[in-house]
Every structure is written in C-alpha cells, then in structure tokens.
Amino acid sequence: MKLVRFGAAGQEKPGLLDSAGKIRDLSAHVKDLTGETVSPEGLAKLAALDPAKLPLVDGSPRFGAPISGISKFVAIGLNYADHAAESGMPIPPEPIFFLKANTSLCGPTDATEKPRGSSKLDWEVELAAVIGTRAKYVSEADALKHVAGYAVCNDVSERNFQLERGGTWTKGKSHDSFGPLGPWLVTRDEIADVQKLGMWLDVNGERRQTGNTSTMIFTMAKCISYVSQFMTLLPGDVITTGTPPGVGAGMKPPKFLNVGDVVTLGIDGLGAQRQQIVEA
C-alpha cells in the first residue's frame, strides 16, 4: 500500500493510493496515520479494504508528511563513503546518529524556510523508514521486521548552524520545514530490496545528487538495530539513513540554497518531492 495524508496543513486526512494512482479517503476507517495505524494490526485492517469502495478524492490536494504523532525523528549521518569523503570526514566505525526536532517534519511539497542568520542552507536526499512495532535491543537480522514502510526524506541542513556554532548537529537540522517526508509511505511488502533503490536530487533543474542505497556504509537493518541499542523506537517513529555524495557543502566551491531556489528529489518506488526556498 501507499498511504498518504492529504489536505491543508494541520487538517490532513488519511488516504491511500489506488492502483490507478488516485487518492482514496480513509477517514471513515481511521482518524489519522499514526503509530497505531501503521502497526501490523492496523496495516492489516487497511489492506483488507477494497480501495474501489473508498471515496475518491478530487483534484490534487497538498500532501502532508505520511505519518503524524511521532515520538522521535532520528537521523543517521555520514552513511555513504563518498559523502564522508566530500565532507572531509573519516568513514565512521559505527553509525553516527542524532535527533531532528519533531517540529521539522513537514509535507513533501511544503516550502523550505531559510532560517534567520542562515548562510549555508543545504540539501540531502535520504531513505527513511517508519517504525511499525516497538524496537528495543533488536538484532540486525530482525530489524526490518519492525518497519511499517519507507519514504523519501530531505534532511535539510544549515551547515553553519550544524558545524560552526558549537554543540550538536541537531541545531543545524531542526528548523521548521527541515524534514520533508513523503509523498507517501510505501509499506514494507512493496519494496523487494531496500538496499537497491536509486536516489536523485536536483537544484533548479540541475542534477546534484545521484546515488543508490546499495552504497550505504551501514544498511537500513544495521541502522535500526544500532539505534535500538540506545533508545526505544516506537511505532510511527521516523529514522532517516544518510545521503549519497553531491551536497552543497561538498562542492568546490561550495554552493548553498537561496530564497527562490527549487529543490526536487526522489527515490525509486517511493515518489518525488519539490520544495521552494522561502524566508523564515
């Protein structure tokens, strides 16, 4: 299934895409797409529905992030060797992870705010997983069984805040609109191999990133297992798993985003996003 949340910000309704790519309204069956909805039991109930009998949504409404009410938004850093190299950093011996503020989560076509004082606004196309069952001290072998589904994420970053202002990476990763997710949540059963997905990102129509999840240093399963050794992942939680090379900070000379720029990005089987940069 491809699950979506559609409608104005703060007023999103749950839905799914039918075989023709049309949005079907799930409001009569679930109030929203939450951790409970994407649990194995919740997904089984949705999978049993006949999409043709669900109300058809007219037009092309805005998509919100395809999950709500999350307890945490976890991100993995430097998870592609070429990206570590372009960043001038060694390949990490263990996964690097940090938290993005939950308030950074937004829809896939929402505008990206350039924060006040921002000078190095950057992009990162990433594969994200949404957790479906509680994960604590899970093995790598069992880790993917805890995944409800996958989605495209843009780990928007302000490099000056992240690397030059002291403290942790979180401050450069957490501004409102720094976590576009979606356009939809693709359930795990629809992805044959999560480690064989092509990825891309353009700025103003110019290709900046081309990659594949096959080149991740730490697999999705490893990332989930590793994080679960330090914190409990709850249903609905988002874990985004790093970016391939081609970020602005790694270009020579570096190139960063300005107001008016347009970023488009996507991952095979998971859809595409578009954001325009605006003043905060």
What letter would DSSP give residue 90?
A: P
Residue 166 has pLDDT above 90, yes or no: no
The residues, ordered by sequence, that sit 6+ positions from 207 with a Cβ below 8 Å of its Cβ are 200, 201
What is the per-residue pLDDT for 16? 98
State the amino acid at position 210 in one-letter form: T
Q: What is the mean pLDDT of the chain?
A: 97
Peptide bond connecting 253 to the previous residue in cis, omega within 30 degrees of 0: yes
Question: What's the average model confidence in pLDDT over 212-231?
Answer: 97
What is the per-residue pLDDT for 193? 98
Lowest mean pLDDT among 53-57, 91-95, 128-132, 230-234: 91-95
- pTM given for the model: 0.97
- 271 in Cβ contact with 104 (< 8 Å): no
Lowest mean pLDDT among 90-94, 188-192, 196-200: 90-94
Q: Could you tell me what percentage of the chain is helix, strand and coil, using 3-state DSSP and rounding each to the nearest 5?
A: 20, 30, 50
What letter would DSSP give residue 172?
A: G
Residue 19 has pLDDT above 90, yes or no: yes
What is the per-residue pLDDT for 84? 81
State the amino acid at position 52 in one-letter form: A
Question: What's the average model confidence in pLDDT over 216-244?
Answer: 98
What is the per-residue pLDDT for 206? 98
Q: pLDDT tens across 87-100, in order?
A: 888 889 999 999 99
Alpha-helix residue ranges (DSSP H) falling in the chain: 40-47, 81-86, 159-163, 220-227
Q: How far apart are CA 123 and CA 246, in angstroms?
A: 9
β-pairing, 23-25 with 13-17? antiparallel
What is the per-residue pLDDT for 168? 86
H or E, element range at 24 = strand 23-25
Q: How far apart are CA 198 and CA 215, in angstroms?
A: 10
* pLDDT classification of 32: cutoffs 50, 70, 90: very high
Kindly report the CATH number that applies to the domain delimited by 73-279: 3.90.850.10
